[in-house]
Amino acid sequence: MTAHDGGVFSERHGILAELIAMAHGAAPVRIAVVTGEAGSGKSTLLRAFLDKAADGADVLYGRCDPFSAARPLAPLFDLARSGGVALTAPAGDRAELFDGFLTALRGRTRPAILALEDVHWADDATLDLLSFVARRLDEVDASVVVTYRDEEIGGTHGMHAVLAGIPSDRIRHFPLPALAETTIEALAAELSTTVGELRRQTGGNPLLIGEIARHGEAAAESIRLRALVASRLAVADPAAIDLVNQVSVSPDGVEAGLLAGREDLLDTGLLEQREDRLFFRHELLRLVVERSLPDHRRRALHRRLLAELSTTDSPDIGRLIRHARACGDLIALAGFYRDLGRVTEARAAASDAESAAAARGASAQLVAARCARAESDVLAGRYAEAEIAVRHTVDLAAKLAHPLGIAQAEAMRSLVEYGKNPSARPDLLNAVRRLQDHGRVADAVRILTQLCSDEAGRRELDLCDRDLVRAFALATGHRLATCQLLSIRSWSRFASGDWARAEEDALAAGELLPARCVLARLNARRGTPMSLTASTDPELLRDRVLLAVARAESAWLSGDRGPEADELRPVFRLALRARHPWYAGELALWLRRAGEVTPALDWFAEPYRLLAAGQWRRASDAWTELGCAYESADSLAMSGEQGALRALEMFDGIGAGGAARRVRQYLRRNGVRRIPRGPRPATAANPAGLTRRQAQVLTCVASGLSNAGIAERMHLSVRTVDHHVAAILTKLAVGSRRAAVSAAIDLGILPEFAVGGTGR
C-alpha cells in the first residue's frame, strides 16, 4: 500500500475489521467513535468501512460542516436523504423529527448503519439527535459510526455529554494515531527521503505524507493543504489568525506568553504548546501558511517577533538572527553577529546595510551602518580600518548636521582610541553619556559591555565591577544586553574567586561562550568536568583564549589527559601579536603544562611572568594580593612538597575537589605518605557545592514541581531552570531528579520528606 493510492494503511486494517464485525452484529458494540487529527485517515477509513458494509446493510450518511450559520439539524436531513427516509414533521419541531426518524429506522427490513462525520462541527440540535438515537439503539437494528477531530473537542464541547450518556459496553473508541515507525520507514524509502525528515514534516499524518508523495517539494503549495488550512481558519477570530501567522514565520516556535490567558486561540487545531513555546502541529502546514503570506506581511511579522524576542528571558540569538535577516534589519543583524563574536559576518551585514542606506539616500541609517562596520573592525583588532571609517562617518554626520549621528560616530572614535590606549577610558565614558542623552541606551550598553569585557580580560576587576553596575542599570528591560553583561560578570567573579555568584551569573547568561567557559572551568576545579564545544571557531581573541584555556584546564584536572599544545599554540601566537599581558601569560602557563617550552617575556602580567621564571611562591603572593585564592594555591602546588601540601589545604578549603585530587596524585607519586584526606561531606558547609539558587531549585524539585512549575514559582525562564537542574544532577553525581533528592537528604541538604510531596 503506497502513500499516494488513497487506500487504508495496513496498520488501520485491524480497526476496519472491528468496524465490519460491529456492522454484522458480531460484537455487542453498537456505537463506534473514530477520532484523530485532520488528515489522520478518518474519512478514508470510514469510506472503506461503508463500502464493505453496504452489501449487507443500508448506509445513512450525514456530515457536519464548519459554517458559522449552519442550518440546525442539517446532518439529520443528510441521513434521511441518503437512506430514503421521509421526514414529515416541521423542521422546527425537534421532538417530532426525532421520533419520525426513529420510526423510519424501526420499519427497515435491513440493518442500518448511521455514519455521522466531523461531529466536532455539530450544532447542539445534532448532538441532541445523536444522544437520542444512541440511547434507543436497542429498539432498532442499527449501528452508529461517528468521527471527529479530537484536537477540536475542547473541555466544554457538547460531545462529552453525549458520550457520557452512552453505556460503556455499547461504545468503542478508535483513536487513529500517527503512522507507526515501520510504516514511515517504508514510505520514506519509497519517497527517497529520510525517516527523520518525513516525520519532521508530517508527524506521521497520512494526508500530509500523501501530499508529499504527489507534489514533492511543492507540497506546501498543494491546493488540498491550502484548503485544509483555510477550513481551520474559516471560523477563527482575527487574534487566532494573527497568532497562526506569527508562528508560521518562526520554525523554532514563539513564546507561549503570546496566549496571554487566551488558550482558545489554539482552537484552530493548527498549533500546539510544547514546554514554553507554541509550534505548528506539523511543519508542512507551517510552510503552507508561511508561503501564503504576502512578502510585506511576512517581513512585518518577523519584525514584530524580533522586537518581542529581544525582551524575553534568555533570548536565543540564533532566533534573533533569523528574524533580523528575514525582515531586512541589517544593522540589527550586524549587532547580533557581533554579540556572538562572529565579526566577519557582522562586518558583512554592516557593509550590506551601508550599501542599502546609500542606495536609498537614508542618511541616518548610513551613519548607523558605518558605525556598526567600525565597531566590527575594532573587535577584530583592525584599528587602522576602523579609524578611517570613523573619520569619514564623523565628517558625514557633521555635514548632515545630524546630532545623533555625530554622537554615534564620536562614540565609535572613542572606542577606537580606547582600543589602542586604555587611558582613553574617561573619553569613552563621556561618549557613552552622550549616547544616553540622545536616547541611544542600547548603543551605550553595548559599548559599556565591551569596556567591561576588556577590563575583565586585563584583571582590572574593581573597574570592571563599577562599570558593570552602570551597564546593568542602563540595560534594564534589554534582556539580550543583560545576558551579555551577566556573561562578563560571571567571568569577572570567577577571576576574583567568587565562584558561587559566578556560577549563578553564568547559568542565567544562557549559551554565551564566556559563561559556558566559566561553567566548564568551575566544574573542572570542583572535580566534575563537563564537555565544552563550540559550533564554530571563535573569531574574537577573547573568546579564543577563554575557550582554549577552559579546555586545557578541564583536560589538566580530569586526569585523563593533559592540555593539547596544538590547540593552544595558534591562540598563544595571536595573544603575543596583540601583546596582551594576561592572555599571553595564561596561555604560556598552559603550554608549559602541555610540555612546550615558552618564553618568559617581561611584559607578561606579573603573576604569569613570575611563574614563567619559576618563582612559584612570589607568584602565589602576587595572586593573593589580587584576591585570587585558587590561582595562589595553584602556584604553590608547583613549588615542591611543602608548597603542594599547603596548596592542598587551600584547595580543600575552597571546594576545588578536582585540583585537590590532582595534588594528591602528585604527592603520592613523590612518595609522600601522610596526605590529608580532605573535608568529609558531612562537615562541609555545602556538601554538594550547590549555590544558593540551586538549593532553592532543589527544594522545588523535591516538592514535585516540573521545570516549568519551578520557573513560574521562581520567576525564571524554563531554560535557566533546565541549566540549574542539570548542574544539580552533576554536582550530586546522580542521573535523575528522584535520585538527586535522595542524595541531598542523605547529605543533610534537604529535610526528610516524601519525594513529590509539598515539602516543609
pLDDT of residue 679: 59
Tens of pLDDT, residue by residue over 372-431, are 998 888 888 888 888 888 888 888 888 888 888 899 889 999 998 998 888 999 999 999
Mean pLDDT computed over every residue of the chain: 86
Tens of pLDDT, residue by residue over 538-585, are 888 999 999 999 999 999 998 766 788 999 999 999 999 989 999 999
pLDDT of residue 298: 96
Tens of pLDDT, residue by residue over 18-72, are 898 888 876 678 899 999 988 888 998 999 999 988 788 899 999 988 776 667 8
In sequence order, the 6+-apart residues with CB closer than 8 A to the CB of 263 are none
Above 50 in pLDDT, residue 759?
no
Above 90 in pLDDT, residue 333?
yes
Least trusted range by pLDDT, from 128-137, 341-350, 523-532, 613-622: 523-532
Above 90 in pLDDT, residue 684?
no
Q: What's the CA gap between 624 and 616, in Å, rounded?
A: 12
3-state DSSP of 119-157? HHHCCHHHHHHHHHHHCCHHHCCEEEEEEECHHHCCCCC
- Phi, psi for residue 60 in degrees, rounded to 5: -115, 120
Least trusted range by pLDDT, from 336-345, 451-460, 479-488, 557-566: 557-566
Q: Which residue has the higher pLDDT, 89 or 278?
A: 278
pLDDT of residue 8: 59
Above 70 in pLDDT, residue 4?
no
Q: What's the CA gap between 287 and 285, in Å, rounded?
A: 5
Q: What is the separation of C-alpha 682 from the centre of its chain, rounded to a whole number of angstroms?
A: 38
pLDDT of residue 626: 86
Three cell numbers written together for 97 = 423529527
Q: Strands 254-255 and 277-280, how do they pair?
A: antiparallel
Single out the residue of 513, 509, 549 nearest to residue 533, CA to CA.
513
Q: What's the CA gap between 555 and 562, in Å, rounded?
A: 5
**DSSP assigned state of 54:** T
pLDDT of residue 187: 87
Tens of pLDDT, residue by residue over 594-610, are 999 888 899 999 999 99
User: How sure is the predictor about 290, in pLDDT bands with cuts at 50, 70 and 90?
Assistant: very high
